[in-house]
Structure 1
Amino acid sequence: MKWKVIDTVACPNTGIVFSAISSFKMLKLIIWYDSNIILPPGATIEPYSSGMKINGLFKPVTLYYVTPFRKHFWKELKQKVHCPENRDTESPWCPSPVQCALKTCPYGKKMKASLH
């Protein structure tokens, strides 16, 4: 079954990514998965046992949990998950002062090496 990604939120504290998806029959779900891949809004996905096709290209994805889409829950999730990238769009570097748990930055930023 094909799904369309409605929206995605990535948590820099846990490294878990949440995507709201909709089937072509308008069934809506929220999937929780690892951050090797960030599903962009508008992407078409097809789930398989070892990953998923994203816009026709197969990628391994670890799916942790699936829940029914609830508008209130999604709104709360988006309000609680904060990424410091929202403050700095020009630099190629992530402005976060702490190590991000995401394996892939949804904004394409690079983490600065910590100076210890």
Structure 2
Amino acid sequence: MEWKIIDSLACPSTGTAFSIATSSKDIKLILWYKDSYFLRPGNIISTQSPEMLINGKPRDLKIIHAFPYDSQLWTSILHKTDCPGNIKAFHQPCANKRGCLFKLCPYGMKLYTPESVEV
């Protein structure tokens, strides 16, 4: 079965992410996962082989839980994740002062430091 990613959110306080995946039969799930790979809209997850494939390449995606999609649940997750990249209107560098457990920012931002501010 193939699943297309239609939206994703990062949760810096846990180092995990959430994605909405939809099947060809219009079944929607919210995937809660941990991986060094951040799923982006348009990515395709294939579960037809013994391995999980993302865009045709094997990945070791660690799915923590899958929920049936619910717009209120998705909105709640968005408001609780506290990642500037999730609102799609972030500015460089990242101003998340609460700490982030991602080794690499899923959105490609650099952590705010006094040295990162251009004068």
TM-score, with normalisation over the residues of structure 1? 0.79
Matched to 2:10, the amino acid is: A
Q: CA-atom RMSD, angstroms? A: 2.2
In structure 2, distance between residues paired with 1:80 and 1:21: 20
Matched to 2:31, the amino acid is: I
Find the counterpart in structure 1 of residue 33 from structure 2: 33
1:47-96 CA-partner distances (Å, limit 9, x unpaired): 3665x31111221111111111111111111122221356753x3x4332
Matched to 2:12, the amino acid is: P
Unaligned regions of 5+ residues in structure 1, if any?
A: none
Find the counterpart in structure 2 of residue 71 from structure 1: 71
Task: Give SS of 1:80's match.
Answer: helix
In structure 2, distance between residues paired with 1:102 and 1:65: 19
In structure 2, distance between residues paired with 1:65 and 1:15: 15
Matched to 2:101, the amino acid is: A
Report how far residue 7 of structure 1 moved: 0.7
1:97-112 superposed matches below 5 A: 97-111=97-111
Report how far residue 98 of structure 1 moved: 4.0
1:55 correspondence with 2:55: yes
In structure 1, distance between residues paired with 2:38 and 2:103: 9
Task: Give SS of 2:100's match.
Answer: coil
Matched to 1:55, the amino acid is: N
Task: Give SS of 2:46's match.
Answer: strand
Aligned length: 110
Find the counterpart in structure 1 of residue 117 from structure 2: none
